[in-house]
Amino acid sequence: MTKKSLPVLLALCCAFLSARAAETAYLFTYFTKNGEDGLHLAWSADGYKWDKLNAGRPYLAPKVGNSKLMRDPCIAQGPDGTFHMVWTSGWNENNIGYASTKDFITWTEQREIPVMAHDSTVLNSWAPEIVYDEKRGEYVIFWASTIPGKFTATAGSSEEKYNHRMYFTTTKDFKAFAQTKLFYDPGFSVIDCTFLRTDAGLYLVIKDETRNPPKKYLQLAAADSLQGPFHPPAAPFTPPGLWVEGPTALKVGDDYLVYFDAYTKKFYSAMRSRDLKTWEDVSSKLSFPDEGTPVRMRHGTALAVPAPVVEKLRHATP
């Protein structure tokens, strides 16, 4: 290689990386208010500036569950390109909602998945998450539930009568589901878990829901697989004293961003890291739609999607 050819090579590499970046955009699925009007979407080119789609109108109205809500919408893309979504369909229900789409405009008929119907005492099925397990060729769905009388060592640690642990089921076709089992018990009330895939391995982002004494922060627990086992959680990485919920994670360039809803302060934020040890609060670098208003973004999922998916959404009316 000559000195003259080096700038040409660098220019080609930069052009290739720019082209690859242009192939990907980011979507944020979220709900507003109490989740009564359905699924909302925002998009971003860089993971920092987010703009609402469809002028802030919902893409899918909730039709299942006793309460007919669509809270905490979580989406995972399968190997055939289909996007599968699960959500919280009510505050005190034993089921979650499910629907799928290829383009976020046309959806399958909504269904209830009775994930906790086997226990008549269960209080809730909150914030379901869905991931595709490539090694096992199946989808993993996990959520937080309180079963009265279980985990008595931490009874009374959360609000009211809640004392959550994470449960899960698996499916290959969304017709047959494996028996529900305990997914994650860190020894405290836990909700809103989500996965962060990194170059160094797999991590579960968890929220300590302990109210007495107050914690309400996020931690990382290394995972051997998408179905565990899980290692002990590391130290909290969200700002001290800030109560947060609904984490979701993206890799943007060389950085890992963990977004979260600072729900008591009513704003969205994110922490950024490259080594998962040193974290930077990047709140001042973020822009979200309708921040500080009654229809601000609430607990959802950020995901990378092919850029044409977003481009179509920007110019289409569902």
Q: What is the DSSP letter of 152?
A: G
- Residue 8 tokens, joined: 């040409």
Q: Is 172 inside a domain boundary?
A: yes
How buried is 58 (Cβ within 10 angstroms: 0-12 exposed, 13-18 middle, 19+ buried)? middle
Using the predicted structure, report yes or no on whether residue 11 has a pLDDT greater than 80: no
Judge whether 26 and 45 are in contact, CB under 8 Å: yes
pLDDT band at 316 (very low <50, low <70, confident <90, very high): confident
Q: Is 12 inside a domain boundary?
A: no
Q: Is 265 inside a domain boundary?
A: yes
Structural domain for 282, as ranges: 24-314
Place of tokens 């971003």: 44
CA torsion through residues 172, 174, 176, 178, sign = positive
- Residue 210 tokens, joined: 């302990």
37-72 pLDDT, tens per residue? Answer: 999 999 999 999 999 999 999 999 999 999 999 999
Q: Is 3 inside a domain boundary?
A: no
Q: What is the DSSP letter of 286?
A: -
Using the predicted structure, report yes or no on whether residue 21 has a pLDDT greater than 50: no
- The structure's pTM equals 0.92
The bridge status of strand 190-198 relative to strand 201-208 is: antiparallel
Q: Is 2 inside a domain boundary?
A: no
CATH at residue 49: 2.115.10.20
Other CB atoms within a 10 A radius of the CB of residue 174 amount to: 18
Instruction: Determine the residue type at 310.
Output: V
Please give the span between the terminal C-alpha atoms of the chain, in angstroms, as a whole number: 53
128-183 pLDDT, tens per residue? Answer: 999 999 999 999 999 999 999 999 999 999 999 999 999 999 999 999 999 999 99
> Kind and range of the H or E element at 8?
helix 5-22
Other CB atoms within a 10 A radius of the CB of residue 231 amount to: 14
- Residue 45 tokens, joined: 């080119």
- Among residues 210, 232, 228, 229, the alpha carbon closest in space to that of 219 is found at 232
Judge whether 17 and 39 are in contact, CB under 8 Å: no
pLDDT, residue 9, reads 43
- Among residues 234, 237, 203, the alpha carbon closest in space to that of 131 is found at 203
Using the predicted structure, report yes or no on whether residue 20 has a pLDDT greater than 90: no
Q: Is 173 inside a domain boundary?
A: yes
Q: Is 5 inside a domain boundary?
A: no
Judge whether 171 and 128 are in contact, CB under 8 Å: no
The chain-wide mean pLDDT, for the chain, equals 93
Number of domains in the chain: 1
pLDDT, residue 8, reads 43
Instruction: Write the CA distances from 249 to 18, 40, 272, integer angstroms.
Output: 22, 18, 10
Q: Is 17 inside a domain boundary?
A: no
218-261 pLDDT, tens per residue? Answer: 999 999 999 999 999 999 999 999 999 999 999 999 999 999 99
Judge whether 59 and 104 are in contact, CB under 8 Å: yes
- Residue 84 tokens, joined: 């599968």
